[in-house]
Amino acid sequence: MNEVIAIDGPAGAGKSTIARRLANTLGFTYIDTGAMYRAVALWAIDQGVSLEDAARLEQLASDAELGLDSERRVFLNGREVTQSIRTPEVSAAASRVAAVAGVRAALVSKQRAIAESGGVVMEGRDIGTVVFPHARVKIFLDADVRERVARRSGEQPEISTEDLAAQIAARDARDRGRAESPLTQAEDAVYVDSTGLTLEEVEEKILRVVRERNLELKGNT
């Protein structure tokens, strides 16, 4: 099995940012699984598919041709959707789409296929528990809810902090409470609290775990 660094955690914990840094440092490929769910949600919205129609959503996830490149661009069926998947409407829909068992099964299969090409840093909600349960490096990245709201506020200044706090609370409840692949810390995952830490400090904490697990690295640590 190719080397995988699995990073899970709640919305706003900084998973995407730190995963990109780690991938660059280690010479691995960064995979944003959240973007994959967002892309399926966007397609459902564009097609007028009800978010209650599990069978149709599963079909979309299975049929979707998804692409992620080194420049963080996201492609859906050959069309770049990098910006389109970041709207509040798509964000809300993605959380509901991700709760559908058939959708998760279809995208997990695609995520595992991507990892076959080489070492990857993959982040999401169930990477260490479901997608790659045998990954040698599993991180559960967390942060104080106030800091998570502040981070999202920097990314989405057009939304009030009150609304962002409500959105994050709702997302946390859906992610942790869903029947299929709920957000939870894998038993063998290392808990990392990024509250008050710089990106460099968070990265160094995770790199120490990488060294301890003796991953076969392409780059230098």
CATH number for the domain formed by residue range(s) 35-117: 3.40.50.300
Q: What is the mean pLDDT of the chain?
A: 91
Q: Which residues contact 176 (CB under 8 A, 6 or more apart)?
A: 182, 183, 184
Chain-centre distance for alpha carbon 140: 12
| Assigned token pair, 48 | 């007028």
Q: Which residues contact 188 (CB under 8 A, 6 or more apart)?
A: 128, 138
- Of the CATH numbers 3.40.50.10490, 3.40.50.300, 3.40.50.720, 3.40.50.11140, which one belongs to the domain with range 1-28+118-212? 3.40.50.300
Chain-centre distance for alpha carbon 177: 17
Confidence at residue 96, expressed as pLDDT on a 0 to 100 scale: 92
Domains of the chain by residue range? 1-28+118-212, 35-117
Average pLDDT over residues 87-115: 92
CB atoms within 10 A of CB 48: 6
**For residue range 127-155, what is the model confidence (pLDDT) as tens digits?**
999 999 999 899 999 999 999 999 888 88
What predicted TM-score, i.e. pTM, was given to this entire model? 0.82
Domains 1-28+118-212 and 35-117 agree in fold: yes
Confidence at residue 70, expressed as pLDDT on a 0 to 100 scale: 74
